[in-house]
A = this chain, B = another copy of it.
């Protein structure tokens, strides 16, 4: 490629925007044209994301009203609160590719959206243009897509653990997903559930059965295979900053050993650099700040448990968004994403 992709970030002050900036600033094929943050307009990016001091001179701007005039952009990322991308993204020039990290364009059914997000969808026609951006299950649809609905963090961790089993039609009856997330999943805005004095010694469940990622999980599972099972989905809060761990309890139609599951997953993910199959259990410690999804297995007769671990802000958000951008522009899928984890 002769020149760098010109990209923009709408919503650069939250954690999704923060991680997009961290990744894209060093991406060899990208140049950031602008990054918006209405409440921080005029401030230096590195005044808000102090990790970036010395690494960028970018300043936040207000989003322009003249979205149609943004003809110079190759790609726009949206890392805005739910409900905002659907107001803005459809007004961009048709040549600008779009990657939305919010939940606005993930669900094809407007009623399901309204039920789970508590608002009417204002751009459900535009939604039809969006490919679901779980890279590993939807690569061929992502490559030619103009618009991507980037998956939710819990959805990513769950789907990567279930897709190979559903695609091979191995699951009997209900599936139980016991998922746990770090506090950054609640966003950059202080709130009682992320108040350090309490959160640092807490573990609790929340949104039982009703997390808004459930419908996108089921929608994608139906696309991947014949999903007619019952899904029990339970989210919990972990006292760490980053990371999602999902324990996925399956009952298989016939016995599938841990080793057998591993072989099956290895085959399903044979072209997927960012899926790593581990011995025993994965650990959020080994994926933090990286784009990897680590997967492990345990089995006992027809009980198969799949464990997945991701960084909620990287593979669960900004990293996967860039992975999708790479595919959409014919780049190597790993470009700019060789983010090494650390020990410890």
Contacts and interface: CB of A to CB of B under 8 A. Distances in A.
Given A19-B342, A196-B195, A50 B286 contact: yes
B26 A205 contact: no
A61 interface: no
Given A194-B190, A240-B201, A273-B54, A344 B184 contact: yes
Given A26-B340, A209-B298, A303-B232, A190 B182 contact: no
The interface size bin for chain A is 35 or more
A288 interface: yes
Interface stretch (A1-9, A75-83, A243-251): A243-251
Interface stretch (A66-74, A88-96, A158-166, A276-284): A276-284
Interface stretch (A108-116, A121-129, A173-181, A321-329): A173-181
Given A25-B340, A26-B338, A203-B238, A197 B176 contact: no
Nearest to A232: B303
Contacts of A192: 190
A310 to B, nearest CB: 12
Contact of A288 (B180, B201, B204): B201
A168 B180 CA distance: 31
A196 B22 CA distance: 20
A51 B341 contact: yes
A245 to B, nearest CB: 5
B241 A307 contact: no
A202 B298 contact: no
Contacts of A200: 183, 196, 200, 239-241
Interface string A331-344: 00000001011111
Given A285-B202, A340-B22, A238 B241 contact: no
Given A18-B342, A342-B289, A284 B190 contact: no
B239 A238 contact: yes
Contacts of A208: 281, 298, 300, 305
A180 B284 CA distance: 14
Given A176-B249, A208-B305, A307-B205, A340 B55 contact: yes
11 contacts: A22-B340, A26-B340, A50-B278, A51-B285, A55-B340, A196-B239, A205-B307, A208-B300, A208-B305, A232-B249, A234-B298
Given A18-B342, A205-B247, A239-B239, 10 more contacts: A15-B344, A22-B341, A26-B340, A50-B283, A53-B294, A183-B197, A194-B195, A196-B199, A203-B285, A234-B298
Which 6 A-B residue pairs are closest in the complex by CB-CB distance? Answer: A208-B298, A51-B341, A197-B344, A190-B190, A205-B281, A204-B283
